[in-house]
A and B are shown apart, each in its own frame.
Chain A
């Protein structure tokens, strides 16, 4: 009897991996969010379990207006980004826009650039001492302000329309051209064809893009923090609340976090229930042909794409230029030189080292865990795999500031004290950025022939050895192209870092934020240039590796 029991339970490699992974996810994701949840129902002002914080949130204008602000900003951003993204996707997929491959890369680059750099650049251009603002005042006019609600929406729109563009153009390339030909054949005019066939078929993809835009703009902290000036949105309120409260008992911040998480989950549920169900399976035998325009027509089709891409990429150019301009304290230009970089190296070299060291360490973990997790999700399906999948993907939709608060209140007390260490920064990077790698890796593995592994086992190589020598090796392209995205978002990460950093563990992104608020524009621009250049080089590497077929979404 004893022998039988032993035989039944034989912990193999995958059992151990699953158990370890699950344990880590529980400690670093479930436990922090559980702590947030429990903190949110307590208050220093009321005894015992209470909804006091939530009642306060929904009755005090100071709190509930931020929810309204967030919704206004997110919905406006979604609408505007769609209004730009869909036409651009249509032009780019259907017409011979000059240099479309380069444009495509630029659009992706502007999406992957650190979000707050967009805000910062637009301050340089349209802010109080902005270049364009000054230009306008010399001719006696007032430039539109970049601060407040409209500014936030404007920057979000330019930063996030690429999501819509990528989802839509992906779907447009997937339409079999016979669909539209059938409509044409049945006597539909061109515009009505787009309206009655093309648009309905790609609608699910557009909606998926909208959800990405909504979630990202809901979670973003840097842009509204820099531009808001009194127009407070939820993530900024969370930060303010947390910074103003004593770190030991951040109940209101926890309650706000719960509100954000609920908002995110509502949107996700909407996606699961409505968007995903509507997806059409299409067999694209003949991808649509590109219409060859000539002369003026080609120019007018290309112009809007160039204009928007230029606006979206402009922030990168501005920060790079700005980084070489030396200014006096009053903002007067002293010359074009490397003084900003010298100042940066003198004061902020730790931040630079930290950013790269933390990100590299995080990426090593992300790649290893990513390979194992992707394999479990695709090849070891079951309840445990589904659970691991949901837990890994959860932080993807949760604002960084919320995760930051969760980690702080969970690990600033026994049994595990991590607050202020480099470890907590790295852990937050791993759990926030691993979804990119796992998504890319598992998508890649889905397309991989499962019989390849069986062929190896069949030829006498044990399953574990097969995994490491054949499967992992073959998954590498998928894992790496995801890992580059993880890497880019790691080095640019602000919203959780700003919660978790201590003097010794501050990063470039945190320093940029502080320098901008300190009006020390030059060093901020130099730091931002470092991030931008690293981002662009990383992206170019991934374009090279994947031969331009990188999947951002």
Chain B
């Protein structure tokens, strides 16, 4: 049976260093949930706390109704895929996959059948009798995957499972994992530092930084409406622009970027003071009036052209223009003006990073 996972105020300390500072998550049954963040943000620490390999200094961990804080790791009924796969080198592929079933005292004929099914599912049935040393990275990855889900765990944990594969295989295994998870419906918690991978694979993502959760949401929510500058900068590419904000009581605000561009925005709440705008490269466009600058560099990337534009005040912006929308390539050194749609970009309070835009 798959389970929902509830984490309340998880705390992890290593001596004086606080690796996790009160993290709470509510993961639905059958959900593909990703912990995303730069290295050292605490995502692997949290995953290993769930697995039972790290001690829990504070907070409560629940699988369904059961509090698992004090449950030893081998009784938690979790499947885990390790970053380096951790395949038992002395066992064959099928022995590796059968290992967890044996530990659960599943009858032999059933073990045989379930192992065969699992290997079939990850498409390595023909490798059943091989030793791990005779497998490629991608094949080992499939063994690790089969070994983890064959026991039908209540929760499946994956710790950067694709980071040791080459780029092409990574994309391929990504869809293998996602399809498999959909099909089996096992609640899955996935750790990665690769934002593209997280966006591609997850139902929901928790973006983490320095032991805290910065935002939880679906991939499109996180990409389109980052709740703070950190998420805006970490997920995808963002251009940050300082601005002055002045709003009336109705939360309609005038936003001025260095006096060169004035726009109106709807805010969540009235605010006047220093702001920070964040705009994706595809949210910026060339226009007749706007922030003046000149193109520094252009890169043709097939479906779009990426421009590096230096504004007259010296700040550099990345602007993407899609080839389907234009047939002109701006020459380097051309004077241009840049604008954006104020309802689509994000605005933050400069000091606190609190999101102001709706």
Contacts and interface: CB of A to CB of B under 8 A. Distances in A.
Interface in B139-172: 147, 151
A452 B91 CA distance: 12
B79, B88, B89, B104: most-surrounded residue (chain A CB, <10 A): B88
A329 interface: no
A9 interface: no
A463 to B, nearest CB: 7
Interface in A421-461: 449, 451-452, 454-461
A460 B82 contact: no
B36 to A, nearest CB: 21
B86 A449 contact: yes
B99 interface: yes
Interface residues of A, number: 17
A454 B72 CA distance: 12
B100 interface: yes
B102 to A, nearest CB: 8
Interface in B70-84: 72-75, 77-80, 82-84
Given A451-B86, A454-B82, A470-B88, A461 B51 contact: no
Contact of A451 (B73, B79, B84): B84
Interface residues of B, number: 25
B53 interface: yes
B90 interface: yes
A462 B72 contact: yes
Contacts of B103: 459-461
Contacts of A458: 51, 73-74, 78-80
A11 to B, nearest CB: 16
A499 to B, nearest CB: 43
A463 B74 contact: yes
A457 B103 CA distance: 10
A457 B90 contact: no
B1 to A, nearest CB: 16
A460 to B, nearest CB: 4
Contacts of B51: 454, 458
A460 B74 contact: yes
Nearest to A476: B90
A452 B73 contact: no
A459 B100 contact: yes
A459 B146 CA distance: 12
A413 interface: no
A457 B74 contact: yes
A442 to B, nearest CB: 19
Contacts of B88: 452, 455-456, 470, 474
Contacts of B75: 460
A205 B80 CA distance: 42
Contacts of A462: 72, 74
A219 to B, nearest CB: 38
A101 interface: no
Contacts of A451: 82-84, 86
A457 B73 CA distance: 6
Contacts of B147: 455, 459
Contact of A461 (B74, B80, B89): B74
A63 to B, nearest CB: 52
A460 B100 contact: yes
A220 B9 CA distance: 63
B3 to A, nearest CB: 16
A470 B73 CA distance: 16
B15 to A, nearest CB: 14
Contacts of B52: 457
B100 A454 contact: no
B143 to A, nearest CB: 11
A474 B90 contact: yes
Interface in B17-58: 51-53
Contacts of A452: 86-89
A473 interface: yes
Contacts of B87: 452, 455
Contacts of A455: 80, 82, 86-88, 147
A451 B47 CA distance: 14
A459 B86 contact: no
Contacts of B86: 449, 451-452, 454-455
A473 B79 CA distance: 23
A462 B71 CA distance: 12
A462 B52 CA distance: 12
B76 to A, nearest CB: 8
Contacts of B77: 460
B104 A460 contact: yes
A288 B100 CA distance: 45
Given A460-B151, A462-B72, A454 B89 contact: no
In the complex, the 5 A-B pairs of residues with the closest C-beta atoms, listed nearest first: A459-B100, A451-B86, A460-B103, A455-B86, A451-B82
Interface of A: 449, 451-452, 454-463, 466, 470, 473-474
17 contacts: A452-B88, A454-B51, A454-B82, A454-B86, A455-B80, A455-B87, A455-B88, A456-B88, A457-B73, A458-B51, A458-B79, A459-B103, A460-B75, A461-B99, A462-B74, A463-B72, A463-B73
Given A454-B80, A462-B74, A463-B73, 8 more contacts: A454-B51, A455-B147, A456-B99, A457-B73, A458-B80, A460-B74, A470-B88, A474-B89
